Amino acid sequence: MSVDGFFGGVVVPFARARKNMTQTVLEEIRAYWETLRASRTVPLRSEIDPRGIEAVLDHAFILERVAPQIARFRVAGGQLNDLMGMEVRGMPITAMFTSGSRPRMGAVIADLFDTPTVAELALVAETGPGRQALTGRLLLLPMASDRGGIDRALGCLATTGPIGLAPRRFTIADARRTEIITGHPISLPRSGVSGFSEHMPAFTGPERRRGHLRLVKSDE
């Protein structure tokens, strides 16, 4: 019996499978955030519950804005710690970028909270001895604090390739920012709301209605 016959499935090239897994991580986080916000501009930070994104929690994080172009990690999954080779909580997210990409990342952060927008970035890590090719997709979703200001963000970072020697820092290959338009909720199928409950308590760890978004600019 052939290997294909033994497993009874379809062979998928591993590179494509890894790419699909990366996209799935982003879609899971995005769907959860969209459901929480409903027809509002953004959801509240206090509405986040880790059980709602349990399957992708290792890639997730929460940011707090501390200056116009600076946001630091309040909570971060193990994947981000592995990439930096240390605990990232309390660090600015720009620490994960090369010096040349930090000003551009700062502009993305400012737009994320001021407009506000959803930001999705394509990343490429620096290579060298012990550091093989590594790419990533970064998603940033603004949220409001209990004080009412939009100064928090739910995010995720999914990478493709071996981490190798940490820290791994990234350059920005592309940044797409999407303005949020309120008042256009679209229901998600139940299967797309993994782990979500309308009565879940607030996210107290160490620290889905789908909305319509409009692409307003792309940084090439």
Q: Higher confidence at residue 23 or residue 10?
A: 23
Query: What is d(CA 161, CA 19) in angstroms, rounded to the nearest whole number?
Result: 10
Q: Higher confidence at residue 19 or residue 142?
A: 142
pLDDT tens-digit map of 60-74: 999 999 999 999 999
pLDDT at 59: 96
Q: Measuring CA to CA, how many Å separate 130 from each of 52, 112, 172? A: 36, 34, 21
Distance linking the first and last C-alpha atoms of the chain: 50
Whether the predicted model's global pTM rises above the 0.85 cut: no
Domains of the chain: 13-187 (3.30.450.20)
Query: What is d(CA 210, CA 31) in angstroms, rounded to the nearest whole number?
Result: 7
- Cβ neighbors of 81 (< 8 A, separation 6 or more) are 87, 88
pLDDT tens-digit map of 148-197: 899 999 999 999 999 999 999 999 999 999 989 775 443 333 333 333 23
Query: What is d(CA 31, CA 96) in angstroms, rounded to the nearest whole number?
Result: 25
Mean residue pLDDT of the chain comes to 80
DSSP 131: B
pLDDT tens-digit map of 81-111: 999 999 999 999 999 999 999 999 999 999 9
